[in-house]
Amino acid sequence: MRAAGATPLLSVRDLVVEFHARSGVVRAVDGIDLDVHPGETLGVVGESGSGKTVSMLAAVGLLPAAPYCTVRGQVLLNGRDLLTLSTRDLRALRGREIGMIFQDPMTSLHPSFRVVDQVAEALLVHDSALADRQARTRALELLERVGVARPDRRVRDYPHQWSGGMRQRAMIAIAIANDPPLLIADEPTTALDVTIQAQILDVLRRARDELGAAAVLITHDLGVVAELADRVSVLQSGRVVESATVEEVFAAPRHPHTITLLDALPRLDRPLAERRPVAEAPPVLEVEDVAVHYANPGGGVVRAVDGVSLSLLPGETLGLVGESGCGKSTLARTIVRLVDPQAGRVRFGGRDITRARGRALRGVRRALAMVFQDPYASLNPRMTVGEIVAAPLRIAGCYRSSGGRRRVAELLDMVRLDPASADRLPSDFSGGQRQRVGIARALALSPRVLVLDEPVSSLDVSIQAQVVGLLDQLQRELGLTYLFISHDLSLVRQISDRVAVMYLGKIVELGTREQVYERPTHPYTQSLLAAVPSPHPERRSSRTLLVGEVADPTDPPSGCRFRTRCAKAAPECAEEVPALVVREGSDHPSACHFASTAPPGSPAGTSGSTPDAG
Amino acid sequence: MTALPAATALPLDLPGGPGVAQDLVGPVHRPVRTLLRDPLAASGLAIVVILGLAAVFAPLLAPHDPTVVDATGRLAGSSRDHPLGTDELGRDVLSRLLFGARWSLGIACLATAVVTVVGIAVGLLAGFYGGLVDSILMRIVDVLLAFPPLLLYLAVVGTLGPGIRNVFLALIAISWAQYARVVRGLVVSARRRDYVTAAVALGASGRRLMLRHILPNVVSPVVVLASLQVGGMILALAALGFFGLGAQPPTPEWGTMINQSRLFLQSEPTLMAYPGLAISLAVLGFNLLGDGLRDALDPRSRKAR
Query: Do B205 and A395 lie within an 8 Å CB cutoff?
Result: yes
Give, to the nearest 10 degrees, the angle between helix A431-443 and helix A385-395.
20
| Mean pLDDT, rounded, for B238-265 | 84
Is the bond preceding residue A553 a cis peptide, omega within 30 degrees?
A: no
Averaged pLDDT, A139-150: 86
pLDDT, mean of residues A215-225: 89
Q: Please, which residues 217-246 of chain B have a Cβ atom closer than 8 Å to chain A?
A: 217
Q: Do A378 and B217 touch (CB under 8 A)?
A: no
| Residue B290 to chain A, least CA–CA distance (Å) | 21
Interchain pair A362, B197: CB under 8 A: no
Q: Is the pLDDT of residue A364 over 90?
A: no
Range 292-351 of A in CB contact (< 8 A) with B: 336-338
Closest CA of chain B from A348, distance in Å: 15
> Beta-carbon neighbour count of residue A7 at 10 Å?
11
A23 interface with B at CB cutoff 8 Å? yes
Q: What is the mean pLDDT of residues A47-64?
A: 83
Contacts across the A-B interface (CB distance below 8 Å)? 71
Q: Which of B202, B213, B298 to mutate to test the interface with A (most CBs of A within 10 A)?
A: B202
Domains of chain B and any CATH numbers = 83-304 (1.10.3720.10)
* DSSP string over A244-257: EEHHHHHHS--SHH
Contact B189/A at CB under 8 A: no
In this predicted structure, which of A357-366, A480-489, A595-604, B158-167 has the lowest mean pLDDT?
A: A595-604
CA–CA min distance B133, chain A (Å) = 21
Asked whether the beta carbons of residue B203 and residue A395 sit closer than 8 angstroms, the reply is: yes
How many angstroms separate the Cα of A566 from the Cα of each of A110, A563, A577, A606, B96?
Answer: 34, 5, 14, 14, 86
Strands A182-186 and A98-101: parallel
Nearest to B204 by CA among A510, A444, A504: A444
Minimal Cβ distance to A372: which of B24, B198, B213: B198
- The pLDDT tens digits of the residues spanning B80-130 come to 777 777 777 778 888 888 888 888 888 899 999 999 999 999 999 999 998
For residue A374, the chain B residues in CB contact (below 8 A) are 194
Chain B residues closer than 8 Å to A382 by CB? 24-26, 216-217
Q: A288 vs B271, which has greater pLDDT?
A: A288
Is B198 part of the contact surface with chain A (CB cutoff 8 Å)? yes
Contact residues on chain A for B299, CB-CB shorter than 8 A:
381
pLDDT tier at A601, thresholds 50, 70, 90: low
Record: contact A395-B208, CB cut-off 8 A: yes
Closest alpha carbon within chain B to A365 = B202
Q: Which residues of B touch A21 (CB under 8 A)?
A: 305
Residues of chain A found within 8 Å of residue B194, distances taken between Cβ atoms:
372-374, 377-378
Q: How far apart are CA B254 and CA A288, in angstroms?
A: 72
Q: How many residues are listed for chain A in this entry? A: 614
Does the complex come out with an ipTM higher than 0.95?
no
CA distances from A473 to A449, A480, A489, A495 (A): 15, 10, 20, 11
CB contact under 8 A, B194 and A373: yes
What's the rounded mean pLDDT across residues A351-367? 86
Q: How far B27 CA sits from the closest chain A CA (Å)?
A: 9
Query: Under an 8 A CB cutoff, do A425 and B26 touch?
Result: yes
C-beta atoms surrounding B59 within 10 Å: 15
pLDDT digits (tens, 9 = 90+) for B187-226: 998 888 888 988 888 888 888 888 888 988 888 888 888 8
Q: Which residues of B, range 138-167, sit inside 8 Å of A by Cβ?
A: none
CA atoms lying within 13 Å on the CB side of residue B52: 19
Q: What is the pLDDT of residues A436-488, one digit of tens each?
A: 999 999 999 999 999 999 898 888 888 888 899 999 999 999 999 999 999 88
Calculate what percentage of chain B has a pLDDT beyond 90: 28
**Integer Cα distance of A353 and A350 in angstroms:** 9
CA-based nearest residue in chain A for residue B300: A427
Q: How far apart are CA A138 and CA A128, in angstroms?
A: 14
pTM over 0.90: no
Taking an 8 Å cut-off on Cβ atoms, the answer to whether B201 and A370 are in contact is: yes
Model confidence at A389: pLDDT above 50: yes
Q: What count of other Cβ atoms lies within 10 Å of the Cβ of residue A577?
A: 13
Question: Which of chain B's residues have a Cβ under 8 Å away from the Cβ of A338?
Answer: 197, 200-201
Distance from CA of A449 to the nearest CA of B (A): 13
A446 touches chain B (CB under 8 A): no
CB contact under 8 A, A336 and B213: no
Q: Which residues of A touch B305 (CB under 8 A)?
A: 21-23
- Beta-carbon separation of A380 and B213 below 8 A: yes
| Cβ-based neighbours of A70, under 8 Å, separated by 6 or more | A16, A17, A18, A20
B202 at interface of A, judged by CB pairs closer than 8 A: yes
What's the residue count for chain B? 305
* Chain B residue whose CA is closest to A332: B201
CA B193 to chain A, closest CA, distance in angstroms equals 6
Question: What backbone phi and psi angles, to 5 degrees, belong to B120?
Answer: -65, -45
pLDDT digits (tens, 9 = 90+) for B136-183: 999 999 999 999 989 999 999 999 998 889 999 999 999 999 999 999
Nearest CA in chain B to A397: B204
Put simply, the answer to whether B199 touches A378 (Cβ < 8 Å) is no
Question: Are B200 and A370 a contacting pair at CB < 8 A?
Answer: no
Q: Does B211 touch chain A (CB under 8 A)?
A: no
Task: Tell me whether strands A231-236 and A239-245 are parallel, antiparallel or unpaired.
Answer: antiparallel
| C-beta atoms of B216 and A380 within 8 A | yes
Q: Report d(CA A3, CA A9) in Å as an integer.
A: 11
State pLDDT tens for residues A180-218: 999 999 888 877 788 888 888 888 888 888 888 899 999
Predicted confidence (pLDDT) per residue in A259-289, tens digit: 988 888 887 877 777 777 777 788 999 999 9
CA distance, residue B134 to nearest chain A CA (Å): 19
* Torsion sign across C-alpha atoms A169, A171, A174, A177: negative
Asked if B300 reaches chain A (Cβ–Cβ under 8 Å), the answer is no
**Inter-chain CB proximity A438 and B26 less than 8 Å:** no
Check residue B11 and give its pLDDT: 34
C-alpha distance from residue A457 to each of A186, A464, A468, B93 (Å): 18, 8, 11, 69
A399 contact B CB<8A = no
Instruction: Report the gap between the CA of B166 and the closest CA in chain A (Å).
Output: 39
Q: Are A427 and A421 in contact (CB under 8 A)?
A: no
Q: Which residues of chain A are within 8 Å of residue B31 when distances are taken between CB atoms?
A: none
Range 410-429 of A in CB contact (< 8 A) with B? 425, 427
> Do A610 and A149 form a contact (C-beta atoms < 8 A)?
yes
Nearest-CA distance B15 → chain A (Å):
20
**Is the separation of the CB atoms in B227 and B15 below 8 Å?**
yes
Question: In three state form, how does the secondary structure of A569-592 look?
Answer: CCHHHHHCCCCCEECCCCCCEECC
For residue B211, the chain A residues in CB contact (below 8 A) are none
Q: Report CB contact under 8 Å: B193, A377.
A: yes
Confidence of residue A610 (pLDDT cuts 50, 70, 90): very low
Q: Give contacts of A378 with chain B, Cβ < 8 Å.
A: 194-195, 197-198
Task: Check CB contact of B301 with chain A, cutoff 8 Å.
Answer: no
8 Å CB contact of B27 and A438: no
Q: Please tell me which residue, B24 or A522, carries the higher pLDDT value.
A: A522
A403: left (phi over 0), alpha (psi -120 to 50) or beta: left
Share of chain B above pLDDT 70, in %: 87
Among B24, B27, B202, whose Cβ lies nearest the Cβ of A391?
B202
A199, A223 Cβ separation under 8 angstroms: no
